[in-house]
Amino acid sequence: MTDTDSLQSDLLARIAAADTPEALEAVRVAALGKAGAVTALLKTLGGLSPEERSVSGPRFNGLREAVSAALAARKAVLDAAALDAKLAAERQDMTLPVTPAPVGSIHPISQVMDELAEIFADLGFAVATGPEIEDDWHNFTALNIPEHHPARAMHDTFYVDGLDTEGRRRVLRTHTSPVQIRTMMAQQPPIRIIAPGRVYRSDSDATHTPMFHQIEGLVIDRTTTMAQLRWTLETFIKAFFEVDDVVLRFRPSYFPFTEPSVEVDVGYSSKTGRPAAPGEADKWLEVLGAGMVHPRVIAACGLDPQQWQGFAFGTGVDRLAMLKYGLTDLRAFFDGDLRWLKHHGFSAFDMPTISGGIGA
């Protein structure tokens, strides 16, 4: 008992004398570490008789508890002293302005994608997606563009080495139209979808990049008409550009996957640079292509073109962003210049909504 009391007095004195966290840790290791004095005493309990253990056990455990309590109390004192010293040494001018933390911004392409999704969701369209590495059948053949069709020359295609599991050539999709094919094959009409996403063509200048973004729309039903297509496009353009009225012009065109096909021009004012109402527009600007879905496309997807018909349309998201927000060089979208993005980007709180407004 005398040895235990002596050891306790010695350890408590050393704990009280420790004036740094490092010195206190050294005492803790010497007392309670794997090779510590108190630990060594506790290990001897296993070799004692039950009578001896009943006497020594409480003394040894009491020693451990006393040392542990002293270590905790001394650590609290040292921590408080360290905090007081730090507070006394530091000075902070509370009148200085706060330096805001760096905040990221939403890329114009992402913002316009959200705006388009919000507009078409309000019109009853769902968002559909598909793979960016497509096969030749979905990207061309199912869209009425067979192997030797001259329309393939309209697409500067990136082909991927190797064939897919069904022996078909693989390509980086040249449009999001394959998403329309996959949707018609996966579900029964009526269908109302938009297909936004990245597409790839071998083309690069101030108005073209090898990768760009498209959004296409598809409606399949029993009585779909060109009049419904025109109303849909007018409603979309008015909501996107946030104008009360627009004037559209349909020009006959050619797309293998629609018949009839049209190029859609929107009238705009050269004074404001924005779409304008009839009587105020003095120029035309081509914004998208559209048409009634070709019966061969409907049949290729396993649907009966005698029962089902529809319309489709497509436009470049990048170009819409340039028109709406006054951006002049498409290549800047992909340069990764943080200064450009900080200037033209959008706050994460600028979420487009029908009620709150589509644009920033």
Q: What is the CATH number of the domain that holds 242?
A: 3.30.930.10
pLDDT of 137 over the 70 cut:
yes
pLDDT band at residue 188, thresholds of 50, 70 and 90?
Answer: very high
211 plus 286 within the same structural domain: yes
**Residue 145 burial (10 A CB sphere; 0-12, 13-18, 19+):** buried
- Please state the domain count of the chain: 2
For 305, the token pair is 């073109």
- The band of 127, judged by pLDDT with boundaries at 50, 70 and 90, is very high
Which pLDDT value is given to residue 356? Answer: 67
Assess whether pLDDT exceeds 90 at residue 233.
yes
**Domain end position, chosen among 89, 120, 149:** 89
Q: Are residues 47 and 163 in the same domain?
A: no
Assess whether pLDDT exceeds 90 at residue 359.
no
pLDDT of residue 176: 95
For residues 229 and 323, state if they share a domain. Answer: yes
pLDDT at position 163 is 82
Q: Is residue 99 part of a domain?
A: no
Residue 234: closest CA among 218, 252, 250, 254: 250
pLDDT at 340 over 70: yes
In a domain, 352, yes or no: no
317 pLDDT higher than 90: yes
Domain boundary among 61, 89, 117: 89
Place of tokens 């649907």: 303
What does the pLDDT read at residue 348? 79
Is the full-model pTM beyond 0.75? Answer: no
Same domain, yes or no: 57 and 180 = no
Q: What's the domain range around 319?
A: 108-344
Q: Is the pLDDT of residue 60 over 90?
A: no
Do 79 and 197 belong together in one domain? no
- Per-residue pLDDT, averaged over 221-249, amounts to 93
* pLDDT at position 109 over 60: yes
Looking at every residue in the chain, the average pLDDT score rounds to 88
**Domain shared by 193 and 231, yes or no:** yes
CA of residue 206 relative to chain centroid, distance: 27
Phi, psi (rounded to 5 degrees) for 238: -65, -40
Tell me the helix, strand and coil percentages in the chain, rounded to 5: 45, 25, 35
Burial (CB < 10 A; 0-12, 13-18, 19+), residue 177, is: buried
Q: Does 137 map to a domain?
A: yes
Q: In this structure, is residue 350 part of a structural domain?
A: no
Q: Which of 15, 263, 256 is nearest to 139 (CA)?
A: 256
Exposed (0-12), middle (13-18) or buried (19+): which is 142, by Cβ within 10 Å? buried
Q: Is residue 247 part of a domain?
A: yes
In a domain, 103, yes or no: no
Q: Is residue 102 part of a domain?
A: no
pLDDT of residue 153: 67
Q: Are residues 79 and 170 in the same domain?
A: no
Q: Is residue 353 part of a domain?
A: no
Specify whether the CB–CB gap between 144 and 209 falls below 8 A: no
Same domain, 148 and 192: yes
Q: Detail the DSSP E strand segments found in 33-176.
A: 126-127, 133-135, 159-163, 169-172
Per-residue pLDDT of 148-162, as tens digits, reads 877 666 667 888 888
pLDDT over 60 at 41, yes or no = yes
| Domain match, 84 and 113 both | no
Same-domain status, 55 and 112: no
The reply to whether 160 and 72 lie within a common domain is: no
Shared domain check, 253 and 181: yes
